[in-house]
Structure 1
Amino acid sequence: MLVRKQVKGRARITFVLPADTPPGPVSVVGDFNDWLPGVHPFEPRGDGTRAVSVVLPSKSVHSFRYLAADDHWFDEDHADGHDGTNGLLHT
């Protein structure tokens, strides 16, 4: 799930996943972090989910995916679109 909040010309995007699906560490990787795993890891929250937030320029488009343990790549079901390989995020 994606949660969006506009803040002074920028967009705060919070990526949210269930606490245990998939199991183990997960990070969001994309053009906004040079596709480097581990830069934006999901952290547990009190409501039983995991989340990570990034702040991006408003009115921009970004490619991203999730990376879990054992090199398991997967997509966000609620992405704004897909380019054939990656999810797209419109801020």
Structure 2
Amino acid sequence: MAIKKQFLKSKPVCKVTFTVPAEEANKVAVVGSFNEWNEKATPLKKLKNGSFKGTVDLESGKSHEFRYLVDGAYVNELEADGFAWSDYAGAENSVLNI
């Protein structure tokens, strides 16, 4: 899994590209505080190499909690900036510091 951040000079936004290697998966989405944990809001597109990829514009100067939803199972990003416990989920969420 990988995260790439590209900060824009023209506005306080960071383009974050999520890449998830999941050749066996049918559907992958990124859900988080930035899309109200809506599993339909940010689906990732399956590439020919079997990985899923998508880009999201996130507000700079904030921390965003998120997880991947791979065929209905939540998965954390190992390369996240950190992790935060969620009592609601009963698990840790990945954290991006933008």
| TM category, shorter | 0.7 to 0.9
Task: Tell me: CA distance 1:19–1:86, structure 2 relative to 1, closer, same or farther (3 Å).
Answer: closer
Amino acid aligned to 2:37: W
Q: CA RMSD in A?
A: 1.5
Unaligned ranges ≥5, structure 1: none
Distance 1:50 1:74 in 2: 14
- Among all aligned residue pairs of Structure 1 and Structure 2, give the percentage whose two residues are the same amino acid: 30
Q: Give the 4+ runs in structure 1 shifted more than 4 A.
A: none
TM-score by length of structure 1 reads 0.88
Distance 2:13 2:49 in 1: 26
TM-score by length of structure 2 reads 0.82
Amino acid aligned to 1:79: A
Distance 2:28 2:79 in 1: 17
Unaligned ranges ≥5, structure 2: 86-91
Counterpart secondary structure, 2:14: strand
CA displacement at 1:50 relative to structure 2 = 1.6
